[in-house]
Amino acid sequence: MRVRPILVKGSEAIALGALAAGCRCYFGYPITPQNEIPELMARELPKRGGVFLQAESELAAVNMLLGAASTGVRAMTSSSSPGISLMAETFSYLAALELPAVIVNVSRGGPGLGGIEASQGDYFQATRGAGHGDYHFLVLAPSSIQEAYELTAKAFELAEKYRQPAMILTDALLGQMKEPLRPKKIRVREYPKDWALTGARGRPGRTLRSLFLGPGELRARNELLQRKYRAMRREVRAEVLYAEEADLFVVAFGSMARIVKEAVDVAREKGYPVAFVRPVTLFPFPETTFRKLSRAGVRFLVVELNCGQMVEDVKLSVCGRSEVESLALPPSDLPAPEDIYRRIKRCLVRKR
Amino acid sequence: MPRAKEVKAFTFPRVLTERTFHYCPGCHHGIAHRLLAEVIEELGVRERAYGVASIGCACFLYHYFDVDICEAPHGRACAAATGAKRARPELVVFTYQGDGDFAAIGLTESLHAAARGERITAIMINNTVYGMTGGQLSPTTLPGQRTTTTPEGRDPRIYGYPLKVAEILAAFPGVAFCARVAVNRPKRVLEAREALRKAFLAQIEDRGFGYVEFLSACPVNWKLDPVRAAEKVDELAETFPLGVFRDLS
């Protein structure tokens, strides 16, 4: 049966994706520009037998998430940049305790209070781990409202598969715009939860902890986590268009990728050999995709709505085999496709 | 003379593991642990108990209790407990925190959980210092008390006065049971046990937040021998009066 499309905001699509995945608990604290998520959850979760609770702070919200996730239920929180910073300590604990949980960052401009407009300035924070210690989140970056819905549902599955927090990184642009969404049914696979704290009925008590003081214990713990992060490379996703005939690859993620894609299409219509690359998983980063595209003579132009962050991952991936340029657009400076097109042209001209 | 019939007064609580406590001689964590284990057993809730281990000396709670236990970041035990309880209301959820954890870094989470009337039981071990960290100032340090960060004694003009958590929580409508106890005399041990039982019943009977504050000795950081430290708890009780501050049962 065809699912009728509905017109929703990106933030609402994320909330609907979570509901489609069977999210049972939502904890959050209001912050612009993501309030549609808690507001939708407040309306819908109790109707479905779930739990919505507005916490007294982002610190409390993310620790409520920790508690709920530890009992093996599907749980989520969402926030925007300054709120995500407040959650950072507990992010480290979520990773250390290996708790499947979904965290949404509808990011805004920074640093500091910054502004509420779109920005991709939280790329490092999301991909490097905002908290302390050697850990990572699995990070997914949707670039359409349909994808926001589907990737959020997918995030619940991957979080359970790897016993690992997963983050949806998007921004005010995608979060606040409206687009048709087909809210199709999504099957989210279940994984065994033989670690969950559900009461020690007929078994010894279980422990979820991150403190390891015995000789070699902490090292073993870290090695286990790193093995898991390497295994997560199986989940790498990227969108690549027109790669065969191109010698300039324009790279962007999330909402910026929409504008960049249009600019690439304009350039191609005018006969320029330009391709488009969009990492969908920001961690693990699609290194192999970039490695395969890179060779002497081709060039990468990385367009970001920040002061230049993902460009570092692209450089690491191509490892000096190709030139990598950064087109960094600090927040407040939302470009039109023509602006990007002009820059693409400059890039091509300089190359000749 | 015929031998008096032997009566078994108590057994080793099933809820405690047989592992030897790591606590210092004269520390009251051991007694508090045992009472907690006895109450969980008496109420028959071992199989649905969910404990939150916090920071400091008691962070090894999970070594000693044969129940499900999760670790929470410093101060956030009441928030983590809230999440677990909301996710699975059938669980009997408790936190075990020191005074720094509950009343300094975590005061916001503690107060809001109590204000919401969260169906959890919070246990605060108040020994007026940061124990594991080496004996620094705590929100409950007595005026004049020497700590490593108040070497001349706590001066209320600089550091203010001790925070009386039980008295604060007693005013909250969401709090169904709130008491301050000590375990430095046998009678008080029995009263502490009863307070713990009631604090658990408050959540089991779905009435509200349960809170028990233990005045507890820290001989090492107080630089006293165990006997003198136990005596000093009486001195603490002058600032932190013992008793039941709220009981809606």
Q: pLDDT per residue over A122-131, tens digit each?
A: 999 999 989 9
Type of residue numbered B170: A
User: B65 and chain A: CB distance < 8 Å anywhere?
Assistant: yes
| Best to test chain A binding among B50, B59, B116, B118 (most A CBs inside 10 Å) | B50
Strands (E), chain A: 6-9, 25-28, 51-54, 75-79, 102-107, 138-140, 166-171, 178-181, 207-208, 238-241, 248-251, 274-279, 281-283, 299-304, 323-328
Query: In A, which residues are within 8 Å of B80 by CB distance?
Result: 63-64, 66-67, 70
- DSSP labels, A250-283: EE--HHHHHHHHHHHHHHHHTT--EEEEEESEEE
| Best to test chain B binding among A26, A51, A63, A98 (most B CBs inside 10 Å) | A63
Residue in chain B nearest A97 by alpha carbon: B71
Q: Do A204 and B59 touch (CB under 8 A)?
A: no
Q: Do A197 and B83 touch (CB under 8 A)?
A: no
Q: Say what percent of chain A tops pLDDT 90.
A: 94
User: B174 and chain A: CB distance < 8 Å anywhere?
Assistant: no
Chain A residues near any Cβ of chain B (below 8 Å): 24-25, 27, 51, 53, 55-57, 59-61, 63-71, 73, 75, 89-90, 93, 97, 197-202, 204-211
Q: What is the pLDDT of residue A22?
A: 97
What value of ipTM does the predicted structure carry? 0.96
Type of residue numbered A27: F
Residues 6+ apart with CB under 8 A from A292: none
Nearest CA of chain A to the CA of B107: how many Å? Answer: 11
Q: What is the pLDDT of residue B9?
A: 74
User: B41 and chain A: CB distance < 8 Å anywhere?
Assistant: no
Q: Do B50 and A199 touch (CB under 8 A)?
A: yes
User: B87 and chain A: CB distance < 8 Å anywhere?
Assistant: yes
Q: Do A205 and B68 touch (CB under 8 A)?
A: yes
Residues 6+ apart with CB under 8 A from A53: A25, A26, A27, A64, B82, B86
Compute mean pLDDT per 10 residues along chain A, 352 residues long, and list them.
90 98 98 97 97 98 98 98 98 98 97 94 96 97 98 98 98 96 95 97 97 94 98 98 93 98 97 97 98 94 97 97 96 90 89 56
Nearest CA of chain A to the CA of B109: how many Å? Answer: 6
Q: What is the pLDDT of residue A74?
A: 98
Query: In B, which residues are within 8 Å of A75 by CB distance?
Result: 83, 87
Residue in chain A nearest B109 by alpha carbon: A60
Q: What are phi and psi of A2, to 5 degrees?
A: -75, 135
Nearest CA of chain B to the CA of A71: how many Å? Answer: 6
Can you give the pLDDT of all 249 residues of chain B as single tens digits? 567 788 777 789 999 999 999 999 999 999 999 999 999 999 999 999 999 999 999 899 999 999 999 999 999 999 999 999 999 999 999 999 999 999 999 999 999 999 999 999 999 999 999 999 999 999 999 999 999 999 999 999 999 999 999 999 999 999 999 999 999 999 999 999 999 999 999 999 999 999 999 999 999 999 999 999 999 999 999 999 999 999 998
Q: Do B47 and A202 touch (CB under 8 A)?
A: yes
Quote the pTM value.
0.97
Q: What is the pLDDT of residue B249?
A: 87
What residues pair up with B15 in beta bridges, in sequence order? none
User: B112 and chain A: CB distance < 8 Å anywhere?
Assistant: yes
| Best to test chain A binding among B15, B47, B63, B86 (most A CBs inside 10 Å) | B86
Q: Determine the Cα angle at B125 with ends B42 and B176, to 5°.
A: 60
- In angstroms, the first-to-last Cα distance of chain A is 53
**Backbone φ/ψ region at A320: left (φ over 0), alpha (ψ -120 to 50), beta:** left
| Best to test chain A binding among B18, B71, B97, B116 (most A CBs inside 10 Å) | B71
Q: What is the pLDDT of residue A348?
A: 86
Three-state DSSP state, A123: helix
Q: pLDDT per residue over B115-149, tens digit each?
A: 999 999 999 999 999 999 999 999 999 999 999 99
Give the number of beta-carbon pairs within 8 Å between A and B.
Answer: 135
Nearest CA of chain A to the CA of B228: how many Å? Answer: 32
Q: What is the pLDDT of residue A349?
A: 79
Q: What are phi and psi of A275, to 5 degrees?
A: -120, 170
Q: What is the pLDDT of residue B2?
A: 64
Query: In A, which residues are within 8 Å of B112 by CB distance?
Result: 55-56, 60
Q: Do B82 and A206 touch (CB under 8 A)?
A: no
